[in-house]
Amino acid sequence: MKKTLHHIPTNNEKIAKNILESISDAVITTDLEFLVVTWNKAAENTYSWRAEEVIGQPITQILPQDSGKEELVEMVKQLRTQGFWKGDVIQQKQDGTKVYITSSVSVVKDDVGNPISIVAVNRDITERIQLEHRKDEFLGIASHELRTPLTSIKGYTQILKRLVETEPASPKISELLKRTDIYTDKLNGLINDLLDVSKIQAGKLVLNNSKFDIDSLVQESIESVQPTTSKHEIVYKNTVKRKIVGDRDRLEQVITNLLSNAIKYSPKSDKIEVTTTNDTKFIKITVRDFGIGIPKNKQSLLFHRYYRVEATEKTFSGMGIGLYICSEIVNRHKGTIAVASDGHHGTTFEVTLPIQL
């Protein structure tokens, strides 16, 4: 018997409607004035608004965004120029409770390329975000708990060091105590970084601002990092004679971190260059190494929490939070941090800070 292909009657519109109603993401379309045209079942479940309550209403009124007007303006701008926008936003359900959404918005065009409407595909990620918040809280509590016994260990090694100085002991004991002290400081540094991450997450990173000399800050940072390497020489060129306003300790943390990374990620070179320059409004600090470099396509991810370049993460130990903390501190000073590398021959980090906050 001859096989025939059965023609299944397809009513495209109906199929499209069925897909829209079955899909688990909220799919919302609006006209070019942002008035709601369609609102699927998942949108009803996500936001508790029923379709008939929202159709014809301005989407910005139905789903006010917690991040406010600025983000909305940015989104509209990108829709106009590129035709799409992607991002995470906090919105509200009908009863005002918050809902975390990862959203992808596109301009729908007709056959000849004219924009006719806007479609948003919104996924509710509230549970995942709440879990992340709980993890951050845990991080804060755990690092706090770890720090308490560590403070005692540090105290006892200090006492032992003093005892060894006054009472004769084998030189081996002094050496071991010195090393214990170094590792205690290292552990303290790691725990403080974890605490910083949880402070940043909770929005509790507070700046203690004062007016200070940037040159002496950079010099002190170099002096504290130089003894940790016997291979590298940190060369410093300064042309800045200005004081700036900011949190001195936090900015020292930034520079020390960049210097430690420069040493860690350049095991085969022997030089690190630091420069400070300024114009009337900004000072610029650069830290340049001649190490492994950072591939161009990874550079935009560097300042994200827990990010490490995969190809080298097994060779170099680390938690992937140093640059995240640096960028948060610099952002809090209304400054910028940028990276430049051709991916092979070293890396330059550039921190720009306003002279007045």
Which residue's CB comes closest to ligand ADP?
A: 318
Looking at 83, 87, 320, 343, which residue binds ligand ADP (CB under 6 A)? Answer: 320
Q: Is 348 a binder of ligand ADP (CB under 6 A)?
A: no
Which of 248, 250, 308, 333 is the binder for ligand ADP (CB under 6 A)? 308
Report 113-142 residues binding ligand ADP (CB under 6 A): none
Half-sphere exposure of 182 (CA within 13 A, CB side): 9
Among 49-57, 233-241, 276-284, 317-325, the segment contacting ligand ADP (CB under 6 A): 317-325
Question: From CA 107, how far away is CA 54, in angstroms rounded?
Answer: 20
Closer of 244 and 274 to ligand ADP (Cβ): 274
- Distance, in Å, from the CA atom of 177 to the CA atom of 187, rounded to the nearest integer, reads 15
Site string for ligand ADP, 190-219 (x = CB under 6 A): ------------------------------
If you search the block for the tokens 């989104």, which residue do you land on?
A: 75
Q: Name the amino acid, one letter, at 50.
A: R
CB atoms inside a 10 Å sphere around CB 37: 14
Q: Smallest distance, Å, CB 237 to ligand ADP?
A: 19
DSSP state at residue 296:
G
Task: Find the binding residues for ligand ADP in span 321-340 (CB under 6 A).
Answer: 321-324
CA-CA distance, 48 to 60, in Å (whole number)? 16
> Which of 302, 330, 337, 355 lies at the binding interface for ligand ADP (CB under 6 A)?
302
Nearest to ligand ADP of 62, 292 (CB atom): 292
SS3 of residue 54 by DSSP: helix
Which part of the chain contacts ligand ADP (CB under 6 A), choosing from 33-41, 144-152, 182-190, 259-267?
A: 259-267
Q: Where are the beta strands (DSSP E) in 18-158?
A: 26-30, 36-39, 84-92, 98-109, 115-124
Phi, psi dihedrals of residue 111, rounded to the nearest 5°: -60, -30
SS3 content of the chain, % helix, strand, coil (to 5): 45, 25, 30
Distance (Å, whole) CA 74 – CA 243: 35
Q: Rule CB under 6 A: which of 49-108 touch ligand ADP?
A: none
From candidates 26, 42, 120, 262, binder to ligand ADP by CB under 6 A: 262
Helix (H) or strand (E) segment spanning residue 151: helix 126-166
User: Of 40, 103, 261, 327, which lies in the binding site for ligand ADP, with binding defined by CB under 6 A?
Assistant: 261
In a 3-state reduction of DSSP, which class is residue 187? helix
Number of residues that bind ligand ADP (CB under 6 A): 21
Nearest-approach distance from CB 285 to ligand ADP, in angstroms:
14
Chain residues binding ligand ADP by CB under 6 A are 261-262, 265, 289, 291-292, 294, 302, 307-309, 312-313, 318-324, 347
